[in-house]
A and B are shown apart, each in its own frame.
Chain A
């Protein structure tokens, strides 16, 4: 995903293999041709698909991106409001329907992911706002019979130089009769009133009073709830089942077999669950019934000793390591991880003979509509995807949507509106994990401790194989998301080899917040720390020297170090660790301050984070996303693992897949580097540096080098003993 964002702006506009043609046309088309995607009532004016202004002064912004906590229902409207010159308090947000105009220019589909929202939407939303503003000014000028140049827009009104003014609501009727201009000038940054300053979240009230509607909250008249009994092993098939007892449970209305298993349908969730408990099913478990995590780790370890497909080769690292003054070897491993969004996956389907309405907290609307058309047989034009709020996304809700398939199949069978619910256990065991990884590295240092050669072999499943992203992400057999952050290691090292094995396993894997970077940053930044220590150099200075031609990496590295007081004495028992990583067009460095108890228990006290994400819209949302990414990454570093035994996922709920809670929360400080560079992403780049920063801090505090996640107190203790 990240790779695709590395296109230059020219390639981006040209479209290439990555971006589908239609969206690029979208980028070229004047916004006036973005006709409103929804029928608009007579009391409103829509200059384009993104804006609707009503006579009651309400300005509705139609947001194509899914709100999953990252703040797009605030930051994207800010971009429009800045140009539209409307009253910020008059803004309302609506989720976009599925239409080509709402496609992401990067994915060629309506999809929220890859930390792309601000990056791909800024320009066209600014234009959309500017065109709306110019039309309102023209409408006022016509009303007053003056030239538009004598008018300007401000805070929801058009004002004439003679002092007269009209509100946007007053201008709706006239503006609606006018032809949108092909283009309109956007502001220069020094004229910004909203952009660059903190604004409160527009969804803050709805989320504080419980009125925000998520998928699980949708309720339709006559709706029934379905839960599915799925194979305990990935890919297993039903041999037979007996539904007599399940059907006898009060509230259960139906039991039907669908492709993924057996659906129990009832008047409510609890009744459906009771019914499922009474089901008797025998399964044929299939080819993955013997998957066991320890064996898988071993298999990957063996594979890592052989060379895979080459992702990058500079010089001859094999030879250079051989003759280096000092050699380092290490093996790293990371487990499968679940997203564990706090709202488990669900959706509501209302399937009629000639139409289909779907309410779903999705990151991937286009695929929802395609899936609904495929399963229901209803024409795509009559399918409405209603994007609700998402109770967490992290990539989980961009997955190929098996629960939507389930819901559609059930709705087809029972011919009533259906709410399909995954229990927490279903959600955690149904798959779509961050892949398990095994990495083998070696490096060579010369007599003065300079890093002269680097070898990195990566083993893990490809997340793109067999998905709609395959053509976009896999080049010459190398899934770029498997090597991102490793193949483009920023340090200047003359000899580099990065290669990849992508074994095929039945475990469903997919995007997990920060994708390949959650893995590669840990490995690269840990091993680089090992190299610094082996060279007898300060880990911060060692990095700094190797980043001489990477000013943005250096910028965040230095800022984080300075704010953290790098080099100053710490309380006894504490250690500091540093890591820096680029992902999704942004640069983040973090310094973690930790201590290790005599039990081996790790406590992260403080995290100092510096981020350079280019030009910014809302600094407070950036801070919030860094905080969020750090906590997410810390949960993985300290606790997260999905393991398999006899093909079964061993974790089921938050008691055995723990996440950070209030009592483990470190103090986090975020510093934003002022920048005029193109905007970078924010939802994901906060995640990658935290695990290596913590592990490097543990090493600083105790001398123990942790090479396997999650960090186990026992391994710290046994490393200390060595």
Chain B
């Protein structure tokens, strides 16, 4: 998916919040990115450094907290962890896997100066 457009949203959210707080500069931005979300962390880093140029977030550190993919296996009735959509249940090998978490893409917090 489109990390460039997502990075633009991250910068605009961060700038809005920094201005609201009367800050002059954003020194770091923390994201929470689920393993089953539409974001490739490396692509997000690249995009963020490109689109933050000239903004309050220029030069800011980007921290990405990874949230594991969670699912429910209907075959064995277990709560499981998966790393990608379409993965088999690690316990029983079945594919009746229903995603229950790990799809978030959030700006968690900022550090400003």
Whether chain B is bound by chain A comes out as no
